[in-house]
């Protein structure tokens, strides 16, 4: 019986074909992985756009304010006074000295996807990273350790800072998160904004901020 004898050249050809098929499969897999990653990025971008639209829809008219019939502070919405950056505009509120003992200015905005998804705002280092202290001036320095806070079931931290030029003032920074999304708040209130922390937390835990956070963060 005739038997075909496979030569070394034939074996080399088979090996080359196998290698070629293997490389093609790897190339196809990489292409598939890239396409999947692109789709995932597009989905995240679309979700962020929807949340930003919800944010705009959730904001009340500029003259909306919170009034209590039991003598609690009145917070009036103002205009966001800072230049627009990658995080966009936020909410600005003011409590008059007649209600809060001193004029208190509160600046509040979300930073979607910017928080540590695993641990949240669990320590001062993460609060320093996500805060808005830098929009008030350069050379920010903490005035002491932070402490834990809770806003509508979301854990976070608050910490006092001093900032240099151009404002040269003390501020209180607060941040609380829902998974990867964080809401940051900054308080300016005379020389000791930390003294207004309780009043600010009461406002943040009110219905107005709750409804806004539900729309923006998808709670």
**Helix 197-204 with 207-217: angle, nearest 10 deg:** 60
Tell which wins on pLDDT, 105 or 138. Answer: 105
Per-residue pLDDT tens over the stretch 158-207: 999 998 766 668 999 999 999 999 999 999 998 889 999 999 999 999 99
Measured from the Cβ of residue 136, the count of other Cβ atoms closer than 10 Å reads 22
Q: Which residues sit opposite 148 in a β-bridge?
A: 157
**pLDDT at 16 exceeding the cut of 60:** no
Give the whole-angstrom CA distance, residue 169 versus residue 176.
23
Give the whole-angstrom CA distance, residue 181 versus residue 35.
25
When pLDDT is cut at 50, 70 and 90, the band that residue 118 belongs to is: very high
% of the chain at pLDDT higher than 70: 68
User: pTM of the full predicted structure?
Assistant: 0.70
Residue 157's H or E segment, with its range, is: strand 154-163
Give the whole-angstrom CA distance, residue 150 versus residue 157.
8
Average pLDDT of the segment spanning 40-44 = 59
**pLDDT at 104 exceeding the cut of 80:** yes
Please tell me the predicted confidence (pLDDT) of residue 73. 83
CB-CB contact of 146 with 159 (8 Å): yes
How is residue 73 written in tokens?
Answer: 């502070």
CB-CB contact of 74 with 59 (8 Å): no
Please tell me the predicted confidence (pLDDT) of residue 10. 45
Helices (H) and strands (E) in the chain, counts: 5, 9
When pLDDT is cut at 50, 70 and 90, the band that residue 6 belongs to is: low
**Helix 207-217 with 8-58: angle, nearest 10 deg:** 160
Q: Positive or negative CA dihedral for 174, 169, 93, 112?
A: negative
Cα→Cα distances 124→60, 121, 201, Å = 32, 8, 18
When pLDDT is cut at 50, 70 and 90, the band that residue 72 belongs to is: confident
Q: Which CATH number fits domain 61-217: 3.30.460, 3.40.1000, 3.40.50, 3.30.1460?
A: 3.40.1000
How is residue 117 written in tokens?
Answer: 């998804």
Per-residue pLDDT tens over the stretch 146-166: 999 999 999 999 999 998 766
């Amino acid at each position: 019986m005739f038997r075909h004898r496979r030569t070394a050249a034939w074996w080399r050809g088979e090996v080359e074909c196998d290698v070629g098929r293997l490389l093609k499969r790897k190339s196809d897999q990489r292409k598939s992985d890239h396409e999947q990653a692109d789709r995932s990025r597009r989905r995240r971008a679309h979700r962020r756009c929807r949340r930003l639209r919800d944010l705009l829809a959730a904001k009340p008219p500029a003259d909306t304010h919170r009034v209590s019939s039991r003598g609690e502070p009145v917070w009036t919405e103002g205009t966001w006074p800072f230049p627009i950056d990658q995080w966009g505009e936020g909410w600005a509120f003011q409590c008059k000295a007649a209600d809060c003992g001193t004029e208190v200015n509160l600046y509040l905005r979300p930073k979607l996807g910017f928080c540590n998804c695993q641990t949240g705002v669990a320590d001062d280092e993460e609060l320093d990273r996500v805060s808005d202290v830098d929009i008030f001036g350069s050379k920010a320095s903490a005035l002491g350790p932070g402490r834990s806070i809770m806003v509508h079931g979301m854990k976070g931290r608050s910490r006092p800072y001093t900032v240099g030029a151009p404002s040269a003032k003390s501020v209180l920074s607060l941040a609380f998160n829902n998974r990867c999304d964080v809401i940051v708040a900054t308080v300016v209130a005379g020389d000791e904004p930390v003294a207004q922390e309780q009043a600010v937390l009461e406002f943040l835990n009110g219905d107005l901020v709750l409804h806004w956070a539900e729309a923006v963060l998808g709670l």
